[in-house]
Each structure stands twice: as structure tokens, then as C-alpha cells.
Structure 1
Amino acid sequence: MVDLLQNILRSFSVQLLLLHLRSNFLLLVVWALLLLMMSGLVGPQLGLQYLFLDPEYLNRTDFWSFLIVGIAYGFFAMTWNLSTYLLIGGYFNFLASLSRPFFKFCINNALLPLGVLFFYFGLLVRFFRLDTDSWILLESLSGLALGVVISLFLYALYFNLTNRDISYYRPRHRERPPNMGPGEGTASAQGHRPYRAQALAPVLTRLYDNPYRVRTYLNEGLKTRLVRSVAHYESSVLQGIFRQNHLNAILLQVITALLLAGLGLLIDRPLFQIPAGASFLVMLSLVIAFIGAVSYWFSEWRVTLLLLSLVAINVLTSAPWFQLGNQAYGLDYNLTAAYSEDRLQGLYGSPKLAEDIAATTAILENWKAKQNEERPPLVIVCASGGGLTAALWATHIAQTIEGCSDGAFLHHTALMTGASGGQIGLAYLREAYLSDPNFRENDVFRLDRISRDLLNPVAFSIVSNDVFLPLARVTVGGKSYRRDRAYGFERELAINTDHTLDKAIWTYREPERTARIPLLFVTPSIVDDGRRMVISPQGVTYMTASEAATRGNLALMPDMVDFRWLLAGQDADSLRFITALRMNATYPYVLPLVRLPTTPVIRLMDAGYRDNYGITSAVRFVSVFRDWILENTSGVHIVQISAFREREPEPEAADNRGVVSSLFRPVGVAGNILSVQILDQEVLLGQLAATLGPENFHLYRFNYQPAADDPLRTSVSFHLTEQERRQVLRASQDPAVQVEMDRLVRMLQ
């Protein structure tokens, strides 16, 4: 038994794994990250696990989508093999004496890739077991396995044709090395000399010949073979074999990088928009290749140089001539607008403020003129952020209420606000209400379109376009802008919505002015000072501060900025509406922050950073027009459509935090920004109810919240699985939702 354990411990496969654990920590971190993403331990609310469990290609999850993921996984595993072969292959000199040394290295280095692959298989079995269609499981496993095989076959073919091994030096090919030993061939052969070297001492032989005392290795037939000494070979020959193999590995990585850059030029073609999970695998492969290359060339300096590389990249990309910040499509960046506290406060008491209030009052009058009642109910719809889940939920609930009320819901709606996915859903529904002659018949069509994947082009653009083609340009509306993953997101959203949202914001001015459609405020957050930007085709300077501040009663700072007023000289009216929606949904890292043409530069990100539920904007609007509302309507009815709002904190049996984790506990509330927003907005709603009176204020809440014990907890992502779609749509049958819906419909009738 002891000998068996010793043989296992001294096998090449086990020694490679132990050497990785000891020497290749940075590379193992990449594997750990992949495992955490697959299992849902990292980013479960973002749905990172579904990128691997439910990859989507050409709007379908099937054999082909898993085939592409399998090819990407094979590419990832082979990049791992290439990098580790560069780093540690030279420690095992016996490899150079074998035929196809890199192939044998890969076989013995397969414990980690195979372990992760089988773990992936297990996750798929568990995931699809929840689905009634077992054929999908068969498709996924077969596609994934075949993809891995195809990838490995192509790599094996390349190295079999290019790599040199010890057989290259045998006499039938060329002269043997000078110390192959006497008695082989003729003494007169050119370069031959008798073997005169003395045998090395046993200790030195072990240190040079087999420093890790490997006893056995696996060959191509997965059979165990004994490791033999190579001390009799000329060291330059062994080094030459490794050097030539290394050169081929580096060449292949360079070719792969060029291929990815080429694919970046074809990113607009759906055929080349590979599943997001495959894109992540390719990206992680690039990380492994980069770490491996730096470690290979600079050895002990690798950590220092990796850190210095990050600093150098940051310095380079911050140079004025290397502008990598994303731009808002439609704006003119040749001139900049002044952004200062004095300019913002200059609106207080200005004629512009009075003009905007009068113009919006006229819009409300037009809205009232279209109603059948003398004092109609004024409906405001607020939709929360939450990726495609929120978009699907907002669209589903709004058009269900519209159908149940026989068209009265949108007819009574005066304003729509929100964030991220929910706002995208409302915007798509509003556009269909304006332009689709078959609006009432296309409910199912819109649900399908609004829930289609948006993540594939974003993920693939990061890997191909953003990394290899950072200076690529694109023309939008006659103006040139830098192309990045934001353009891919907008293009995919435009395709999913039949290009109905791909228009300048000024095109909505007249429909809103005549009350054909509700007002819609898009409110992304300003990263640099925490204010909110209000984007509307109307003048909305009255939204920039509280009523007391705009009247001059209190010296309060403005907390919002009117986009069209600020950037009037930068062609603000030409901003693409789909760009405004994208800025409103700019989740950090997934989409790039938007740089505006201002001095100093300000950047925009997701509206959820300040108001994920649209309540703050709604309360501000009602406060400004309170007198008109009380005089002309029967009251305000706020319809709050939200996703993931009612999250319960996970209880702790005891405070088991250690010293290190306790250091971060005081700042935990900073990471719970949505709960803080909810509590603050509860106060705002209470104050508004007190101001208007209970008879003039009504609140209806439609929240989507998956069950805590649901194994398919819906994620906040721009990708939805088919199971998640069904789960969201079925949630409208929840008794609590039905009660609220009945109450709202009765009010509208």
C-alpha cells in the first residue's frame, strides 16, 4: 500500500498538479474564478452561472451554442497547457527524450482541466434536471464534449506538424548529437566523437535529470510508463527541443490574438456573436496567456512587472491623444460645455425655469383634454432596474393592465420614470403605443423581443474589439465616435426592438407635447458628483432642485441637471434615444461609463446608482405641479413596477466574523445602496401623501421577487434563460399581484 501511494504521489500528473499549487498561483486564480462563476458563488445575482449553463447563440440555446462553448473551453484548457509548458516543462527533462513531448505533457497535465470539465457536466445535469425536456440535456452534454474534442484535435494537429522531438535527431534524419555515445554509427561521421563524459554523482544526477523524482507518466494510450534517465543526452539538444516547442506555442498564441482581432471586425454579423460564456472563456484564456508570457520571460519579476504593466496601461490610456472614454452617440464633441455649481444655480428664478414650467403645464392641459372625466386620475408609472428581468416584468405588467383596463391605463398615464431594464421596457411599450397600429394584438411579440439576449455582443466585443481594436471608429448620425461594447449593446437592442427606439430624442417632442404618449424622463447618474441627469425632449429645468430652492427660499444645491439645457451647444437634441436608455442602464464594467463633452469632464452611469425605482423623479415632478394636479385631477396614482425590491437580509445564527472580516463590517451599508434607496423613498412617498392628502394619493405596487428557496433564482442580467422567462411571466398570477391589479383596473374604469 505504501508503495502504491508512493507511485501515485511520484506520478507525473500528481507532481505537475503539486507544482502548479506551489509555483503557479496566479494561473490557478483564473481557474478558481471560472469555477466560482460556473457554480454561481460569484455573481449569482448577475446571472454569471447562466452564461455557462444556458449559453445562447442566434437566439437559441441548443447543441450549437454548447458546441461553441466547448470549443472555447478546449481553447482555454490548451492555453493553460501552453503557458504551463513554457513555465515548468523544462524541469522535466525526460519529456524531451520522448516522442511528441508536448502531447504527453498535456495528457499528464489534464487533472485540473478534466476535473473542471466534469464539474461543469455535473452542473448541467443539475440545471437541466429542473427542465421537463431531457433532450436539451443530451444536446448540451454532446455539444460541449464535441466542442472540446474539436478544439483539442486542432491543437494536436498543429503541434504534431510543427513540434520537434528527439526523433528529429536520430540518424535517419540528420547527424546525431556528438555525445549520443560510442558504438552507434561510424566513427568517421561528421561531428561524432566518443562519449567521454564521466557519470554524474547520484545526487547531481537527480537534481539535474529528475529534480522532482517522477517515476511514471501516462503515454498517448493512457498507459503507465517508467521515467528513464536522460543524463546521457547533450543538454543543448534537450534545451533545443524545449526551445523549439516554446517558439511554436508562442507563435500559436500570437496567431490566436490576430484571429480575435479579425473577428472583432465581423462583430456586427450575428453569426460571429458567440455565446457570452464562450467569450468569458476566451477572455480568461488571454489572461492566462498574458500571465504565462510575463512569467516565462521575467520569472521572479513577474508580479512586479504585472503591476507595472497595469500602471503603464493606465498612464497610456489617460493621455489626451488616447481617448478611450465612451461617448454619447449623437452629441457633438468638438466643443465643450461649462459644468459648474454657479452655472447650475443660475437657473434659480431664471426665465428659462418659468418657461419650462409653463410648457409642461400646457402638456398636462393637453393630457387632460384627452380624458373623458372632468377631474381624471393622473397615473405615473415607475419601473425599477434589474436587467432583462425588470424589462420583461415591466412590459408584461404594464400591457396586462392596459388590456384588462380596455386601454385606459396608458391613456391616463402622464409620466414614466425608472432605471435600467425597467425603463427600457417602458420605453419600448410607449414606442409601440405610438407607432404600432396593431398594438393590442402584439403583446406576446413584444414580450419575446424585450427579453432577447443583449449580453453576447457585449461580452464578445470586450474580448475582440475592446482589447485588440481599442481605436476602432464608427459613424452615427454623420458623426464619428469610438466603437466599443456600448455600440454592440445598442445595436443589439435596436435589432431586438425592430429599430423602433433608434431615433433622436427630438422626435418624441411633438408626440409628448400633444399628449399622444406620456412624458418619459431618463435619469442616469453623474459619477463625478452624484447628481442625476434628466434627459427629455422637453425643457425640464424645474426638475433640477426642490421647489423651495428654485423659488430662492433656501440656498440649496441642485441635485439634478437638465441634459438639453446643459448641452444645448453640443447638439443635445440629436442624442440617440437608444443611447439615453443605454446610459440609464450602464452597469459598471458590463458597459463603459459615458463621457460627456463638458469642462470639467463628467461621466454617466446607471440610474440605479441614485434612483433605482424612479420614485424620486416622480415625487419631484408631482411637487412642482402640485397645485395644478389638485385643481385639475382626482389625484395622483403611482404605479410602481419593480423587480427584486423585497429582499430579506440573510439571518446569522451568531456573529462569527473573524478579525479581518470585521474590519469591513462598518462599511457594509455602503454596499447595500438599494435598501438605503428604498427606505429614503418610503419617506418621500409618505411626505407626498401628507402633502396631497390621502384622498389625492394612491400607490400600487407590483413587485417581482423569486422565492428564496427557488433553485432558479432569476438574475439581474442582460441575459435570460427560458426557465427565467417562464418564471417571470407566471409571477403575474401571484395573488398579491392580482389584488393590486384588480384595484388599479377598478379605479381606471
Structure 2
Amino acid sequence: MKKYLIGIWYSLPIQLFLPHFRRYQIFLIFWYLLFSTVAGGFMKTFGAFSLFLAPEYFGEVSALSTAIVGFTSGVFIMSWNITTFILHSKQLKFLATNAQPFLKYCINNAIIPMAFLIFYLIKAINYSSIQELASTWDIVFLAGGYTGGLMLSLLIAFIYFFGADKTIYYTLATNIKTANEQYDQAITNSVLQKEKFDMRVDWFLTAGFKLRKPRDVRHYSTEFLEAIFNRHHVAAVLAIVMAFVFLVLVGYSSDTRLFQLPAAASITIFFSILIAVAGALSMFLRSWSIPLVVTLYILANYLYQQEVIDPRNKAYGLNYINKKERPLYNKEAIGELANDSAIEADKQQYLTILNNWKRR
């Protein structure tokens, strides 16, 4: 029993899941917001949960509207996978010599996305049944639309990365073959030492969902492994850039009804961009990313309280700086202004305006 527990603990899915709580808590903020919104906690008074559970497109809730939200949810999941893949790649060097390393990474990094998918479908089905009074077939179509949109998004992403993977390995095939031929010689000449920053992984899931032990890659040069990962990183960054360009184009075309996407879809695409930015912060600041975010939040809150940052809509011509000279806004002050002479003066003024319009 102990052997199985140790094997589970040092499996790649668990070892990828734990670092989010230890080092990359900033990514969990986005997942928390999604879980909390769908659960009816975050911004409940504004009805944010209904934007996800009953998305509207062309003025109605349909399989197409849920499919769009599902597609953008897939974009968010892939953005999260891409960002964490870039951050974890140095600790998972054995993936560099496997075919389709990013696909294997996504499969082993699926604990949180799968939990969200199940949670969302449960809440969406419950909402459609109780709040929308939808029929069984309508619920099936809505849930199927979301799942289908999600699967389509993931399929497009994996086709893109599969093409990038083939290009990378076609380019570096000679180097891989040479490194494999020199493996026996490397073992004979010296004992290969384990690098300190490698993550301990006893087994991982393959693309066929089979268990496999990680391959020993210590006979490969660091430069070679980094070359493979760097090429995957370039492909990953291009995917994020395409998502950003899509968001900008949708924003510019929002006046067209076709591009008036469900609000939940816009939110998830926006989160996809933010999670990439958060990944960049985590990469450069490492353990200082959370303290920096907290500091920026406190600073922004202070500036807001001091009205240095003031998002309020202001009436043109009014003085909002000198608060002491503001007129009182209470019952007595309004009563003083609402006297007979003031009412008669207003009446005569507007009668003059109306007569001028009449003469035109």
C-alpha cells in the first residue's frame, strides 16, 4: 500500500498540481474567480453567474452560445497550460525527448481543468433545470454545446502544436540520434549526477493514457534540451499572441452583431491574456510575484482613497476638488431652492425657450 501511495505522490499529475499552491498562487486567482463566479459567490449581486450558466448570443440561450463559452474556456485552459509549461519546463527535461511533449504535459496537468469542467456542467445543468425550466433535451444540447466548443478549441490547439512538434523534431533529428548513440559511452565514462532542480517524477501519463517511467536525459547536453524547449516556447507564445489579436479584433468589431459574443466568452479570453502576463511576472520575479501584486493592490487602493485614481463620471463644469465650497445636499437645502419665486422663474424661462422654438 505504501508503494502505491508513494507512486501516486511522485506522479507527474500530482507534482504539477502542488507547485501552484507552493510557488505559483497567482495562477490560482483566475481559477478561484471562475469557480466562485460559476458557484454564485463572486459578484452574485450583479448576476455574474448567469453570464456563464446561461450565456446569450443573438438574444437567446442556445447550444451555439454555450459552445462559444466552451470554446473560450478551452482557450483559457490552453493559455494556462502554455504559461505553466514554460515555467515548469526546466524541471521536466525528460519531456524534451518525448514526442509531443506539450500534449503529454497538458494530459498530466489536467486535474484543475477537469475539476472545473465537471463543476461547471453540474452547475449549468442544475441552473437550466431549476431556473430556466429547460426540458431534458434542451439541457442536453446546452451541455453538449459547451463540451463540443471546449473540445474543438483543444483540438485546434493540439493540431497547431502537433505541427510545431513535427517541425522541431525534423530540424533536430540528427542531434537526437547522435545523443542516443553516445549514451552508452556517457554511462561508461562517468556516473551521471541528478540535477538539483529536476522535479522527482516516478511515472507520467502518455498520450494514450498509459503509465510510463520518465526517460533518463542526463546524457543530453543542457543546450540541446533548452533548444527543444525554447522552440516549443516560441510556438506557445505565438498562440497567446493570436489569442490577444483575436480579442482586439472582436473589440473593434463589437458594433457588429455577429461579434457581440457572450459576456462570459469575453471574460475568459481576457483571463487568458492576464494569465500570460501573470506568467511573465512569475518568470522574472519568481517568489517576489505575490508580494509585488499585494503591494500594487495596496498602492492602488490608497490612490483610490485619495482620489488620485478617480473613475467616477463627473458633470461638466462642476468643481470636484474643493469639497468645502460644495453646496449642502440635504432636505433643507433642497427646500430652500424649491420656493415659489424660483419655480415661477424657471417656468417663465422655459416658456421663453418653447416660444422661440415655435417661431422657428
The residue number in structure 2 matching 1:3 is: 3
Deviations 1:361-393 (A, max 9, x none): 99xxxxxxxxxxxxxxxxxxxxxxxxxxxxxxx
Indicate conservation of the 8 Å contact 1:179/1:233, yes or no: yes
For residues 176 and 65 of structure 1, what CA distance do their matches in structure 2 show? 46
The residue number in structure 1 matching 2:357 is: none
Q: Which amino acid in the other structure matches residue 300 of structure 1?
A: S
The residue number in structure 2 matching 1:288 is: 275
The residue number in structure 1 matching 2:157 is: 155
Instruction: From the two aligned structures, give the one with the greater strand fraction.
Output: 1
Instruction: From the two aligned structures, give the one with the greater helix fraction.
Output: 2
**Bigger Cα Rg:** 1
For residues 189 and 302 of structure 2, what CA distance do their matches in structure 1 show? 56
For residues 197 and 296 of structure 1, what CA distance do their matches in structure 2 show? 37
For residues 350 and 95 of structure 1, what CA distance do their matches in structure 2 show? 78
The residue number in structure 2 matching 1:625 is: none
For residues 163 and 217 of structure 2, what CA distance do their matches in structure 1 show? 25
The residue number in structure 1 matching 2:220 is: 233
Q: Which amino acid in the other structure matches residue 137 of structure 1?
A: I
For residues 52 and 351 of structure 1, what CA distance do their matches in structure 2 show? 48
For residues 256 and 346 of structure 2, what CA distance do their matches in structure 1 show? 43
Matching of residues 266-665 of structure 1 within 5 Å:
266-306=253-293, 325=311, 336-338=317-319, 342=325, 344=327, 354-358=340-344
Indicate conservation of the 8 Å contact 2:69/2:149, yes or no: yes
Indicate conservation of the 8 Å contact 2:183/2:219, yes or no: no
Shift of 1:357: 2.6
Shift of 1:102: 0.9
Considering Cα pairs closer than 8 Å and 6+ residues apart, tell me whether 1 or 2 has the greater RCO.
2
The residue number in structure 2 matching 1:135 is: 137
Unaligned runs of 5+ in 2: 355-360
Percent of pairs with identical residues = 29
Shift of 1:176: 5.1
The residue number in structure 1 matching 2:34 is: 34
Secondary structure, aligned partner of 2:272: helix
For residues 246 and 132 of structure 1, what CA distance do their matches in structure 2 show? 44
Taking a change above 3 Å as real, the CA distance of residues 167 and 314 of structure 1, as seen in their structure-2 partners, is farther
Matching of residues 170-319 of structure 1 within 5 Å:
170-171=173-174, 179-182=179-182, 198-200=189-191, 204-205=193-194, 207=196, 211-306=198-293
Residue among 166, 169, 173 paired with 2:172: 169
Shift of 1:36: 1.2
User: Relative to structure 2, which stretch is displaced further, 258-267 or 71-80?
Assistant: 258-267
Taking a change above 3 Å as real, the CA distance of residues 197 and 136 of structure 1, as seen in their structure-2 partners, is same
Deviations 1:10-49 (A, max 9, x none): 2211211122222221111221221111111333333222
Q: Which amino acid in the other structure matches residue 64 of structure 1?
A: L
For residues 357 and 97 of structure 1, what CA distance do their matches in structure 2 show? 85
For residues 237 and 325 of structure 2, what CA distance do their matches in structure 1 show? 57
1:53 correspondence with 2:68 = no
Shift of 1:133: 1.4
TM-score scaled to structure 1, two decimals?
Answer: 0.41
The residue number in structure 2 matching 1:393 is: none
Indicate conservation of the 8 Å contact 1:216/1:226, yes or no: yes
Q: Which amino acid in the other structure matches residue 327 of structure 2?
A: L
The residue number in structure 2 matching 1:18 is: 18
Q: Which amino acid in the other structure matches residue 49 of structure 1?
A: F
Unaligned runs of 5+ in 1: 185-193, 318-322, 363-505, 511-749
Q: Which amino acid in the other structure matches residue 286 of structure 1?
A: I
Taking a change above 3 Å as real, the CA distance of residues 274 and 132 of structure 1, as seen in their structure-2 partners, is closer
Q: Which amino acid in the other structure matches residue 150 of structure 2?
A: V
Q: Which amino acid in the other structure matches residue 157 of structure 1?
A: I
Deviations 1:204-231 (A, max 9, x none): 32636xx333122112221222212111
The residue number in structure 1 matching 2:109 is: 109
Secondary structure, aligned partner of 2:212: strand
Indicate conservation of the 8 Å contact 1:11/1:217, yes or no: yes
Secondary structure, aligned partner of 1:49: helix
For residues 349 and 72 of structure 1, what CA distance do their matches in structure 2 show? 55
The residue number in structure 2 matching 1:90 is: 90
For residues 335 and 68 of structure 2, what CA distance do their matches in structure 1 show? 61
Indicate conservation of the 8 Å contact 2:76/2:268, yes or no: yes
For residues 288 and 7 of structure 1, what CA distance do their matches in structure 2 show? 31
For residues 104 and 254 of structure 2, what CA distance do their matches in structure 1 show? 37
Q: Which amino acid in the other structure matches residue 101 of structure 1?
A: P
Deviations 1:64-115 (A, max 9, x none): 1100110111011111101111111221111001011111101111111011
The residue number in structure 2 matching 1:77 is: 77
For residues 351 and 137 of structure 1, what CA distance do their matches in structure 2 show? 58
For residues 272 and 313 of structure 1, what CA distance do their matches in structure 2 show? 33
Shift of 1:266: 0.8
For residues 197 and 183 of structure 1, what CA distance do their matches in structure 2 show? 9
Indicate conservation of the 8 Å contact 1:93/1:238, yes or no: yes
For residues 267 and 335 of structure 2, what CA distance do their matches in structure 1 show? 52
For residues 309 and 161 of structure 1, what CA distance do their matches in structure 2 show? 40
Deviations 1:513-568 (A, max 9, x none): xxxxxxxxxxxxxxxxxxxxxxxxxxxxxxxxxxxxxxxxxxxxxxxxxxxxxxxx
The residue number in structure 2 matching 1:602 is: none
Indicate conservation of the 8 Å contact 1:70/1:145, yes or no: yes
Indicate conservation of the 8 Å contact 1:179/1:195, yes or no: no
Indicate conservation of the 8 Å contact 1:294/1:305, yes or no: no
Q: Which amino acid in the other structure matches residue 140 of structure 1?
A: L
Shift of 1:153: 1.4
The residue number in structure 1 matching 2:100 is: 100
Shift of 1:180: 4.3
Indicate conservation of the 8 Å contact 2:243/2:273, yes or no: no
Deviations 1:168-213 (A, max 9, x none): 4223xxx5586544499xxxxxxxxx75984335xx32636xx333
Taking a change above 3 Å as real, the CA distance of residues 218 and 181 of structure 1, as seen in their structure-2 partners, is same
Deviations 1:674-722 (A, max 9, x none): xxxxxxxxxxxxxxxxxxxxxxxxxxxxxxxxxxxxxxxxxxxxxxxxx
For residues 305 and 39 of structure 1, what CA distance do their matches in structure 2 show? 29
The count of aligned residue pairs is 338
For residues 51 and 158 of structure 2, what CA distance do their matches in structure 1 show? 28
Taking a change above 3 Å as real, the CA distance of residues 195 and 121 of structure 1, as seen in their structure-2 partners, is same
Indicate conservation of the 8 Å contact 1:98/1:165, yes or no: no
Secondary structure, aligned partner of 2:207: coil
For residues 228 and 293 of structure 2, what CA distance do their matches in structure 1 show? 29
For residues 239 and 292 of structure 2, what CA distance do their matches in structure 1 show? 23
For residues 227 and 17 of structure 1, what CA distance do their matches in structure 2 show? 18
